[in-house]
């Protein structure tokens, strides 16, 4: 299938909602497991969390014998390199993306943007996305903040025809399995009245999403060099999430 340089962002204006973690997990799974060609533009200035993670991953893969062997085996088997992670200022994100496209063809280019739409260039960059996925949780503050963000995007940009956005979707994140499903049904009724939609796949509340495993552990979950280890995939819902995204993106 011809590569389309689909631009995707996991975006919200609420910090700690999981957008960076989701970007890394989905990008790595698509690139290293599903065989798609992926690139990441890290616009989350000034912390550049994904670019910093790549630096740590590279040190681990070159200094630790176990991970060095894992990296050699993986790249030999796949016959493909690590996906590029490029730093960019938010206002320069579109230019950075175009430069990437000139250098190579990608199936997906992920943009990790700051957690505020007030920073220069964020709204414009979001308008250039093909798909936006906004993580939400049952926390009232997080939910209300993200719904305001998504509603604003839908009304001011998508519905106004001022973007290339094909889809704007919410994702339930940090779902506590002990919570009653009626709570989510009520929230989804509110979401539906706003004209927004939620993915069927939800992500559980699990510590594995919130930390990188230290060197010396065999199993890795969040990494830019390796996909999530299969032993940690069970119960994470990462696989069905990626499959649902691929269906939405017609991939």
Q: CB 185: neighbour CB atoms within 10 A? A: 9
Local structure of residue 112 (DSSP, 8 states): E
The residues, ordered by sequence, that sit 6+ positions from 9 with a Cβ below 8 Å of its Cβ are 19, 110, 111, 112, 113, 125, 126, 129, 131, 132, 133
The answer, yes or no, to whether residue 205 has pLDDT greater than 90, is: no
Q: At what angle are helices 19-32 and 49-63 packed, to 10 degrees?
A: 50
* Domain locations along the chain: 6-248
The answer, yes or no, to whether residue 1 has pLDDT greater than 60, is: no
Say if residues 158 and 168 touch (Cβ distance below 8 Å): yes
Output the average pLDDT for the chain. Answer: 88
pLDDT interval class at 215 (50, 70, 90): low
Which pTM was predicted?
Answer: 0.92
For residue 48, the model assigns a pLDDT of 95
Residue 147, classed as helix, strand or coil, is helix
Q: Which of 86, 114, 119 is nearest to 102 (CA)?
A: 86
The residues, ordered by sequence, that sit 6+ positions from 2 with a Cβ below 8 Å of its Cβ are none
Say if residues 20 and 41 touch (Cβ distance below 8 Å): no
CATH T-level assignment (fold) for domain 6-248: Rossmann fold (3.40.50)
- Name the H helices within 108-165: 122-127, 140-153
Give the whole-number percent of the chain exceeding pLDDT 70: 90
pLDDT interval class at 217 (50, 70, 90): low
Say if residues 45 and 147 touch (Cβ distance below 8 Å): no
7-36: average pLDDT: 90
The answer, yes or no, to whether residue 14 has pLDDT greater than 70, is: no
């Amino acid at each position: 299938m011809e590569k389309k340089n689909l631009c995707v962002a996991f975006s919200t204006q609420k910090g700690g909602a999981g957008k960076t973690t989701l970007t890394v997990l989905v990008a790595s799974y698509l690139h290293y497991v599903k065989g798609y060609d992926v690139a990441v533009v890290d616009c989350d200035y000034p912390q550049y969390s994904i670019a910093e993670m790549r630096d740590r991953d590279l040190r681990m893969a070159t200094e630790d014998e176990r991970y060095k062997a894992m990296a050699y085996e993986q790249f030999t088997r796949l016959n493909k390199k690590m996906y590029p992670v490029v730093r960019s200022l938010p206002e320069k994100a579109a230019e950075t993306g175009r430069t990437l496209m000139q250098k190579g063809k990608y199936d997906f280019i992920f943009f990790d943007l700051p957690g505020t739409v007030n920073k220069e260039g964020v709204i414009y960059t979001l308008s250039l996305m093909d798909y936006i996925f906004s993580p939400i949780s049952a926390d009232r503050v997080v939910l209300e903040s993200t719904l305001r963000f998504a509603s604003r995007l839908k009304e001011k940009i998508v519905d106004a025809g001022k973007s290339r956005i094909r889809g704007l979707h919410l994702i339930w994140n940090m779902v506590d399995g002990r919570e009653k499903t009626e709570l989510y049904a009520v929230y989804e009724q509110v979401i539906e009245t706003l004209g927004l939609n939620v993915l069927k796949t939800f992500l559980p509340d699990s510590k594995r999403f919130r930390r990188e495993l230290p060197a010396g552990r065999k199993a890795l979950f969040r990494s830019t060099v390796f996909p999530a280890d299969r032993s940690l995939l069970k119960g994470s819902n990462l696989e069905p999430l990626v499959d649902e995204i691929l269906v939405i993106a017609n991939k």
